[in-house]
Amino acid sequence: MSKINVLSKNVIDKIAAGEVIERPLNVVKELVENSIDAGATMITVEIKDGGKSFIRVTDNGCGIARDDLLTAFKRHATSKLKEEEDLYNIKTLGFRGEALSSISAVSVMEVITKDEASMTGIKLRVEGGEFGEVEEVGAPCGTTMYVKNLFFNTPARKKFLKSDATEGSYIASLIEHLALANSHISMRFIQNGKTKINTSASDDVKNIIYSLYGREFINDLIPIDVTKEGVRLSGYLVKPGISRGNRNYENFFVNRRYINSKVISRGVEEAYKTFVMQHKFPCVFLFIDLKESDVDVNVHPTKMEVKFANEELIYDMLVEHIRRVLSGDDLIVSSFLEDESEIKEEVREETETSVKFEPFEVSKLKPYNAAKDTNLIKVKEAIRGESPYARRYGEPRTLKEEMPEKIEKAAKEETLPILQKYHFLEEDNRKKHKIIGQIFDTYFLVTMEDSLYIIDQHAAHERIMFERLMKNLKNHENFSQEINPPMVVTLTDKEKVLLAKYIENFKTIGFEIEGFGGNEVIISAVPYNMYGINDKELFLSMIDSLDEFTGNELPQVVIDKIAMMSCKAAVKGNNRLSIMEANAIIDELLKLDNPYHCPHGRPTIVELSKGELERRFKR
């Protein structure tokens, strides 16, 4: 057996640094969080070579006193905790006291800082954990941290870093999230000498969203703000028409800390499930605020994961209120017929520029619909005239004051029509509908005012059947239909286990199922909406769809899943329907909580405006 050795301080520091500092991203996160905790209102982050060779974080916070500077670099030294009880009531972003110690152990670090009580600033250089002399320098109040040659003394860690561009993209994403979480702080991010992000402090996170993501998101935001049992859920949902193939746009903040959470993610995706297409993920900007004692942020060294004291409350709250908000909004999809060349040109321009312009007060602008504008070119000129593309080589102008005035003026001159939204499915507008036909035996064509509405008969009928079934379940009205002869289905061992696990959920929606010996079951009754559809494959697919569950889901979630699958029996495409049948489907759509999407998230209705057609025909 090998002799047990006590590790040297140098090795201990490097091991500790490896737990906290995995890549340049972690350095920036720790330093910016310290700046936020120091009360900064302006933070600038600059990196070179993906942060491998150079990182600078400058803030105008409270600074570090001379007597505290050396202590700040010691392991487990922090100004944010004093007693053990403080661990259960954490109100700051950084609290472990490991950041400066870990960073300085694997880099060449330099600090310039000044607090309000000092006449001059001080400077300290730390190389691989070795301290230099503290020097007096001229400096404004605040702190600047330089980190150079990251991992210079741990080449094994450096070898596993990704390309400069990839490491830089991680940091850019971090700054975006920190800016969203702290809208009251002005943040600037510079990469290889180019400004990539530049946000102005704002009381409304909507302005930060505009600054970071532009018009694509700002016109499709739906506010949410509810409180339940001491937990506040606020922020913005993005209409389901904008969804992504991954979870990168699911933005969650707990007590203003950006985090990853499977509980929140599952709740959001469950709420959006019947609004977005399968294999697509919603875009949200959600803030959850609760008592510090009800959430544990001390789960992982990176502080990206949290645990809630009452996960069920958080999950239920997300599902209930997001669904309620989405169901109450106009979610008809508008079809924008833009030229591909124009789209490519805008993408090319946005990719080339590295400047983000300051956001104006979006909430004060009157809404408008550019698609209905017959003077679209003038509108684009008015907007682009103040964009970063037009002023790339000139002096920046203040958009906060100029932009709203120009748009208001344009609106008054009727060059920018104010949006007058017609709600296609409002009962008062039903008499304005004119069904002009059916195409491809799949889509109804309905006109109203200056728009053409295209309705997918299968998606619409699926939605009707799903909501009808769920309403009956809510009212404890269980409608089954016997099938004769009964249907015998052979299951695999895995399918048999799944059915046994969720058998009561199947019975709840109207199935009557009994064992028939071995791996066979006999189905003698099905939900009324499946009557006449003796489809074994459909039943098996319903069982298979439950395989993704862990067993910890609420009963209602399982019932929703089974009910959703049962609606496959809806009228299919390629079926010619009469005008009377089309009217019946539209009439029932009027009564639904969510008439805009089928249970699987596909749109039921697409709007094509007269203005969009005129654009296509160059009128």
Architecture of domain 205-329: 2-Layer Sandwich (3.30)
DSSP label at residue 417: P
End-to-end Cα separation, the chain, in angstroms: 87
Cα 258 → chain centroid? 11
CB 470 within 8 A of CB 456: no
Strand 257-259 and strand 250-254: the pairing is antiparallel
| Averaged confidence pLDDT in the chain | 76
Q: Which residues contact 104 (CB under 8 A, 6 or more apart)?
A: 73, 126, 128, 129
CB 530 within 8 A of CB 566: yes
d(C-alpha 527, C-alpha 504), whole Å = 14
- Tokens standing for 284? 């949200």
State pLDDT tens for residues 178-208.
999 999 999 999 999 999 999 999 988 999 9
Q: Which of 284-293, 338-347, 356-365, 572-581 has the highest mean pLDDT?
A: 284-293
Q: Where residue 333 falls among pLDDT bands split at 50, 70, 90?
A: low
d(C-alpha 26, C-alpha 446), whole Å = 55
What CATH class has 9-198?
alpha beta
- Tokens standing for 235? 């922020």
Q: What are the extents of the domains in the chain?
A: 9-198, 205-329, 340-365+374-412, 461-569
pTM above 0.75, yes or no: no
Nearest to 261 by CA among 232, 297, 217: 297
State pLDDT tens for residues 116-134.
999 999 999 999 888 999 9
Question: What's the pLDDT score for residue 615?
Answer: 84
Architecture of domain 461-569: 2-Layer Sandwich (3.30)
Question: What's the pLDDT score for residue 511?
Answer: 84
Q: Which of 56-60, 140-144, 497-501 is least confident? A: 497-501
> Within 10 A of 135 (CB to CB), how many other CB atoms are there?
12
- Tokens standing for 26? 């972690």
How buried is 34 (Cβ within 10 angstroms: 0-12 exposed, 13-18 middle, 19+ buried)?
buried
Half-sphere exposure of 536 (CA within 13 A, CB side): 10
* Residue 117 amino acid letter: A
State pLDDT tens for residues 228-266.
999 999 999 998 878 887 888 899 999 988 988 889 999
State pLDDT tens for residues 269-301.
989 887 887 778 899 999 999 988 888 776 555
Strand 443-448 and strand 434-439: the pairing is antiparallel
How buried is 337 (Cβ within 10 angstroms: 0-12 exposed, 13-18 middle, 19+ buried)?
middle
Which comes out higher in pLDDT, residue 342 or 52?
52
